[in-house]
Amino acid sequence: MAAVSKNSRTSSTTQRFFCTCGGEIKMKTLLENGKIRNLAECEKCKRTERRPSDFI
């Protein structure tokens, strides 16, 4: 049996966003009116936007 060296690369496609204040934006999942809603929140200034791109 031949030893096959495989590159087991972990594909982490997690994008990181930063607020204008310099804080990192974390994604939060909220349950609103029975619907799951994603919310982006800056962990520094606690500003919340619907999408991480709205911070810029």
State the residues that interact with Zn ion by CB under 5 A: 19, 21, 23, 42, 44-45, 47
Q: CB 34 → Zn ion: shortest distance, Å?
A: 30
**8 token code pair:** 């087991």
Q: CB 55 → Zn ion: shortest distance, Å?
A: 7
Q: Are 35 and 50 in contact (CB under 8 A)?
A: no
Q: CB 27 → Zn ion: shortest distance, Å?
A: 14
Return the number of the residue (34 or 43) whose C-beta is nearest Zn ion: 43
**39 token code pair:** 């919310």
Using alpha carbons, list the distances in angstroms from residue 13 to 16, 27, 43.
9, 14, 21
